Amino acid sequence: ARLETLLQRAGHLPSGVRLAVFGSSANGFGGPSADLDMCLVWPRGVPLPADPASVVERTAEALRAEGMTDVACRPTARIPIVSFTDPQSGLQGDVSLQNALALANTALLHAYSRVDARVRALAHVIKHWARRRRMNCAAEGTLSSYGYLLLLIQFLQQRPGAPVLPNLQALPPGWEQGGPARPLPTVETPQLADGRPANTYFYTPPGGDYSALSAAFARRNTETVGQLLLAFWHHVAHRLDTRKSVVSVRTSSPGGTLPKEYKAEADCWGQPSRLSIEDPFETWYDVAHVLKTTKDQYVRGEFHRAYTLIVQVHGNLGRGMPPEALENLLDEICKESPVPASAINSKDD
């Protein structure tokens, strides 16, 4: 809000244009130090500028004029963007243009975060673990935090007997009222890079009341955060067949996966043995595409390490374990990685 006010006061924002926040700062899974991802949003019915790059360049100039530091402009990126640091708060931020898909994605993740408090607790631990083990940076060839969130959501949708989360993209409008099944609507949202439309429909409860969703799904599952965390590490390390399957949070297929053969035919994906994760809206996009052989092995190995450390102390999954015992192990599981050169900094094929 402060940045938007500064830009508006200085006359740098066109009339009616506002700044919208997306990503970890707004999706329910971010911490107090999360980067601030923003985009300029034009009023409905107002056409976007013909030259998005020039808008980003002018925004960069405005940010410098308002005292922001470390301003870096990338006008030729797939989605033109400018990054900066706010010297007053120390927060780092990005501003892009009319990133409607990112806003829809943020709203979807936020909806999942509202269904049950265990979702947010699990995400906090998993993101901390991935950061400490140095495997949460797509720029370095490991999986993004977004990728881990999709893995977690898919896992919670597939708990045997009592899923913690529903598939929000498969619930029709008015689901909470019962009655005959209604067709799922299509909400076409164009991608900024090439205008390709994506269906961004997902169920949102009337008035933001998630009690019906919680009652129908989350409350029927009595597993603790500790039990779910252990099962999550076991699921990815030992049950997820990455050679044949693509993780998907929007499919109604058994197991929450799609055959890699199907994605190869539908979206021209390759069929590597590594982990593959379908974006819930840009279904043609593999969120895990940055993983190559060595980095994929390292990430999967860390899931195995986390699960094994617990099992070595507390036995197998069937015996269970108290939540406090898990807490005592988290320091070791999340111990900062020494960054093995062979696993982190090596060049992949």
- Same-domain status, 26 and 149: no
In a domain, 67, yes or no: yes
Last residue of a domain, one of 52, 68, 98: 98
Characterize the bridge pairing of strands 18-22 and 36-41: antiparallel
Characterize the bridge pairing of strands 188-190 and 257-259: unpaired
In a domain, 110, yes or no: no
Total number of domains constituting the chain: 2
List the Cα angle 323/328/329 in 5-degree steps.
Answer: 100
In a domain, 15, yes or no: yes
Strand partners, 259: 245
Task: State CA 120 to chain mean position distance.
Answer: 12
Alpha-carbon radius of gyration of the chain: 21
Structure tokens at 248: 């998907």
pTM: 0.89
- Same-domain status, 14 and 125: no
DSSP 280: S
- pLDDT averaged per 10 residues, the chain (length 349): 76 80 92 84 83 88 92 89 92 90 96 98 97 92 96 97 96 87 90 83 96 96 94 96 97 93 95 95 96 93 94 61 67 84 47
| Amino acid identity at 137 | C
- Cα–Cα distance for residue pair 294/252, rounded to 1 Å: 31
In a domain, 320, yes or no: yes
Q: In this predicted structure, what is the pLDDT of residue 275? A: 97
In a domain, 195, yes or no: no
In a domain, 60, yes or no: yes
* Residue 53's CATH number: 3.30.460.10
- Same-domain status, 36 and 159: no
Last residue of a domain, one of 63, 98, 133: 98
- Same-domain status, 152 and 273: yes
**Is residue 293 within 8 Å of 349, Cβ to Cβ?**
yes
Q: In this predicted structure, what is the pLDDT of residue 339? A: 65
Q: In this predicted structure, what is the pLDDT of residue 283? A: 96
Q: In this predicted structure, what is the pLDDT of residue 5? A: 81
- SS3 state at 247: strand
- SS3 state at 339: coil
Q: In this predicted structure, what is the pLDDT of residue 317? A: 44
- Same-domain status, 92 and 12: yes
* Residue 292's CATH number: 1.10.1410.10
- Same-domain status, 160 and 40: no
H-assigned helices in the chain: 2-9, 52-65, 100-115, 117-132, 145-157, 211-216, 225-234, 260-267, 293-314, 323-333, 341-344
In a domain, 20, yes or no: yes
Taken in order 128, 112, 287, 101, the sign of the CA dihedral is negative
Q: In this predicted structure, what is the pLDDT of residue 132? A: 96
Q: In this predicted structure, what is the pLDDT of residue 9? A: 75
- Same-domain status, 25 and 128: no
Structural domain boundaries enclosing 230: 117-169+217-338
List the Cα angle 57/58/59 in 5-degree steps.
Answer: 90
In a domain, 138, yes or no: yes
Q: In this predicted structure, what is the pLDDT of residue 141? A: 92
Ramachandran angles phi, psi of 261, nearest 5°: -65, -40
**Is residue 37 within 8 Å of 22, Cβ to Cβ?**
yes
- Same-domain status, 234 and 319: yes
